[in-house]
Structures are given as C-alpha cells and as structure tokens.
Structure 1
C-alpha cells in the first residue's frame, strides 16, 4: 500500500526526467519514425521499473524538496539524462559521416531521398549504412548498456548533485574525437581506393587529353566501389558495433 501518493508521484517524475530525457535523444528511440506516444510509454515503463531499485535514493529528496528546489531537480535530472543519451547518439551519427565519405569516394552521387530512420534527406547508401549499424547495435542490446549506465549514474552523479559542465564538455569532445578516428578508419579503404583511382585517371587524361576521361571513368569508379562495399560491409559494421562499448564506457 502506498502511504504517500504525492511523494511517490514526485519521485516517479524525477526518475522519468532522467530516463525520459535519455530516451528522447537515444538512437532508435528518438527516430522520427517512432510515434511520440510510444516514446513516452517506454520512458514511463522504464521509470516505473527503476524506481523501486532507486527508492531510497530518489524518494527522500523528492518528498522533502521545496517547490523551487524541486524545479531545480527536474532541470538537472533532465540535463543528466540527455547527456547520457547524447553520448550514444554522437557515435551513431558518426556512421553517417563515414557513409558520406564512402559515397563521395566511390562516386555515388545519387539524389537524396527520405532517410529510413530520421526525417532528413540522405542518399540510399548512407541510409543503408546507418540503418544496418543501428540494427546491429540493437541486436547487441546496446540500449541495455545505456540504461544500466543511467541507473549507475545515481552513484556518480547523485540526485541533487551539480553536473560538472567542464567534465561534460570534455566527455563530449573526447567522444567526438574517438568517433571521428573510428569512422575515418572504417572509411579509409574507400578513401585510398578513390584517391588511387582519381590519380590513375589523371595520368591517363594527361596521356590522352582528347578522351573524355570523366565520363568514361565514372562507371568503373562506381562499379569497383560498390563491389568493394559489398565485400567490406559486414566487417565494417562488425567493427562499428565492437567499438561502441569502448567509446561509451570510456566517457
């Protein structure tokens, strides 16, 4: 039996602020294809599941906080949850960066269409890479690691504690730096392929300037790039998924 309904609701809402803000920006859950009602229900269900575990941490401060202090808790909890979700989102956005490099290197300049995940315009190759990478992460239960880190965050960043903005910015920059290195490493074979192909075509153009080399070489560039992409896509996505925990847990 609930002896303090008001305090229970206040504690549940504080748990919802941290978890709901994380779900709001978490890859997959924050997709434009997912209805807002589904996102809210997922966040509420997770908050109700987590609240009994963290009851002794959340309830005392939620039930005894003044109105002004409670609003401050709501703001800080939402900021902490968004920070944890944004860490994972930055890594998945990096896969779109790698896909853009790959498509430019192999000469895939098809007009953009609607993205599978977001409400943005992307080429079919970038959409394919982004969707496959996110699907692999969900198959490996990456969201479980994020939610576990969110629950563990109550020990590192307790309820009512101040979020160190300097440390947060350092974590964001470190995540961006590591993600950029990983994506450049994944796209490096295609960068080398495009560079060597363009240099070779440039030499051919110098030897036979009367031949329209650009129109002749583009189909071969695209054909070789797509064949290379066919051979490398499995290994590319595997390395992308394997590096997620090292990036996320490292910050």
Structure 2
C-alpha cells in the first residue's frame, strides 16, 4: 500500500529523469529508427523497475521546496546524459574507426543512407558500426549501462551538489580510453595503407612515366577488403571487450 502517493510520484519522476537522460543519448535506443514513444515507454518501465531498488536513496531527497526539486531534476537529467554519452561516444568511436579504415584501404564508394541515423555514410562504415552495435546488444550492453546508473546513485546521490569538474574529467578520461581502443582496432589497416602507399610511391619514382597510383588503386582496395574479411571478427571481439572496460571507468 502506498502511504505517500505524491512522494512516490515525485520519486518516480526523479528516477525517470536519470534513466530517461541516459536512454535519450544511448546508442541503439536513441537512433532515428526507434520511435520516440517506444523510447519513452522503455524509460518509464526501467524507472519503475529501478525505483524499488533505489527507494532509500531517492525518496528521502524528493521532499522539500519546489525550487530544490527543480534543481534536483535538472541535475538528475545531466547525470543520466553523461552516463549515456560515454556509451554513445564508444559506438561513435567505432564509426570513426570505420571511416579511417575506408580511407586507408581506398574504399571511396558513394555514400548511402545510414542504417542507424538519417545521414549518408559509407557502406563499409555502415556495416562495421551496425555489426558492433549488434554485438553489444547480443552481450546485453544495456544491462551494463543500467547497472552503472544504479551504482551512480551511490557515487552521485540525488540532491547532492553537481560537480562539473568531476563530470568533465570522467568524459575526458572516457574519450582518452575510447581513442586508444579505436586506434588499436584501426592500427592494422593504418599500417597496411601506409606500407602500400609508400611502396607504390617508391615504384612510381622508378617509373615516373607509368601512372602507378591509378593502376594500384584496385589492388589497394582488394587487399584492404581481404584484410577486413580476415580481421573483422577479432576487431568486434576487442570492441566488445573494451566496452566493459570503459563503462567500469565510470
């Protein structure tokens, strides 16, 4: 039996602000292919599920003046967005890796519609980013994020002062980790592209009258696609392993 309906609703809305802020920017849930109403229903369902677990942390903080509650709501939204942004940056890092790979192997096909967003993207980048997101869903990455949100109530309880410096440090450290992981994923293709182009440049110096660069373009692409065929399984495995490492940094 609910003895304080008003306080329960206020506590549920406070939980919804943090959960909804994360789902608003989370990869997969925030794409243009997911209807807004479906995202709203997911956020409400997760908030109702997490409220009984975090009741002792949320409910005592929702009482008091209206201005204090409005401030609490604003901070809760920002905290949720920060947690969701870390996961979104990680998936965007894989998309950036796909763009680097297409450039290094010379795969410059005309862009097509993105699988996830309403933008144009290269076909190989589309395949890599969609495959990475699919692997994360298969490994229940959203459970990891929801667990991180639940743990965040211990680190950043509702009603506490907002520490902008700590948030910026968290985002900066996460971006640093993501950059190193994505550089590791793209390093074979970067080395392949550099070695191939250096070799072609040396051959072109020996025979300047022959347009070696035009002749070598199909071989560059063929070798690069074959390298993608051999290494994409290991790349996605390293991508999935790195996600847990990045989220544990929160």
TM-score, reference length from structure 2: 0.97
1:133 to partner: Cα distance: 0.5
Match of 1:103 in 2: 102
Structure-2 separation of matches of 1:157 and 1:199? 52
Structure-2 separation of matches of 1:151 and 1:119? 32
**Runs of 4+ with deviation above 4 angstroms:** none
1:90 to partner: Cα distance: 1.0
1:57 to partner: Cα distance: 2.0
> 1:158 and 2:134 equivalent?
no
Q: Which moved more, 1:198-207 or 1:38-47?
A: 198-207
Match of 1:199 in 2: 198
Match of 2:185 in 1: 186
Deviations 1:24-55 (A, max 9, x none): 01111111110000100000000111111122
Structure-2 separation of matches of 1:111 and 1:127? 12
- Indicate the RMSD between aligned Cα atoms, in angstroms: 1.0
Structure-2 separation of matches of 1:242 and 1:111? 32
Structure-2 separation of matches of 1:175 and 1:117? 23
**How many residues align structurally?**
250
Deviations 1:158-196 (A, max 9, x none): 110122111111111111111111111111111111111
Match of 1:61 in 2: 61
> 1:73 and 2:69 equivalent?
no
| Counterpart secondary structure, 1:32 | coil
TM-score, reference length from structure 1: 0.97
Please give the residue correspondences for 1:1-251 in structure 2 after superposition, counting only pairs within 5 Å. 1-62=1-62, 64-251=63-250
1:96 to partner: Cα distance: 1.1
1:238 to partner: Cα distance: 0.4
Task: Could you tell me which runs of 5 or more consecutive residues in structure 1 were left unpaired when the two chains were aligned.
Answer: none
1:60 to partner: Cα distance: 2.4
Residue 148 of structure 2 contacts residue 247 of structure 2 at CA under 8 Å; is this kept in 1?
A: no
| Counterpart secondary structure, 1:135 | helix
Structure-1 separation of matches of 2:201 and 2:69? 66
Structure-1 separation of matches of 2:64 and 2:56? 15
Structure-2 separation of matches of 1:44 and 1:233? 37
Structure-1 separation of matches of 2:32 and 2:64? 36
